[in-house]
Amino acid sequence: MKVTRHIRLEIAANSLASAVAAQEGGADRIELCDNLEAGGTTPSYGTIAAARDVLKLPLFVLVRPRAGDFLYDSRERDVMLRDIELCRKLGCDGVVIGALDADGDVDVVFSREMVAAAGAMHTTFHRAFDAVRDPSRALETIITLGCAQVLTSGGYASAPEGALAIAGHVETARGRLLVMAGAGITPGNVAPLVGVTGVEDVHASARAVRTTAMRFHNQRLAGLDHDWQQTDRATVRALRDALDGCVSR
């Protein structure tokens, strides 16, 4: 008999509107962030607070003070710990964290501080994991830190490219840590990816271009008030439908 399994769908939402669209489209969880075009940064206080007020889904918040690498100085670390504290006070369900040292290993000391600051909130170690020099060693470190989950593309530009590596991580971490596949996931490739990797969680942004409703444009500003990208409810629904047909291994 064909037995389907529920694969959890996390949507990286770059605004309150994106988060609402993700919820309406059938997502299981929201990762709230900003600046997805730069890999994601921490959203504003107002965005987090408003999302917590209107969302019925579990709400996770990305804690990343800037784009670029994952090596943080003392001022950046202070900002990140304050953001985690804010998320906890606002009643968020989880935070998405990550930090490396200059040699490409997990920054154990600071990561431990972030996990401690999160308290009872769920902690996901983000794709800083894909930038480490030794993924096997890093995976064991993340498990030891007490993170509940790691987000990964298998060390490749997209999860479909890194599917075999992700499958290896799933097997290694089984029963100790959840492995979530993310990057380059679409309604067309998500079911085969789940079949190859065995993941129980997938991560996508499901974005589409939103056209500005402005009729007037100051041409001297070179497109300051241009179109933008936002999570698309229909794409989220297509991802959900594709996942709902996944068969248990």
> CA-to-CA distance for 28 and 23, rounded, in angstroms?
7
pLDDT for residue 1? 42
CA atoms within 13 A on the CB side of 67: 7
189 neighbors 179 (Cβ within 8 angstroms)? no
Contact 149, 173 (CB under 8 A): no
User: What is the pLDDT at residue 208?
Assistant: 78
The mean pLDDT value of the chain amounts to 93
pLDDT, tens only, 149-176: 999 999 999 999 999 999 999 999 999 9
The pLDDT value given to residue 247: 61
Residue pair 51/87 in contact (Cβ under 8 Å)? The answer is no
Integer Cα distance of 71 and 247 in angstroms:
40
Whole-prediction pTM value? Answer: 0.92
Question: How far apart are the C-alpha atoms of 94 and 137, rounded to whole Å?
Answer: 24
Q: Tell me how far apart the alpha carbons of residues 229 and 189 are, in angstroms, rounded to a whole number.
A: 21
Q: Given this model, what pLDDT does residue 74 score?
A: 98
d(Cα 189, Cα 121) in Å, to the nearest integer? 31
pLDDT of residue 122: 97
Looking at CATH, the fold of the domain delimited by 8-211+225-242 is given as TIM Barrel (3.20.20)
Tokens found for residue 61: 């918040």
Low-confidence ranges of the chain (pLDDT < 50): 1, 3
Give 211's contacts (C-beta < 8 A, 6+ positions apart).
227
**Residue ranges per structural domain of the chain:** 8-211+225-242
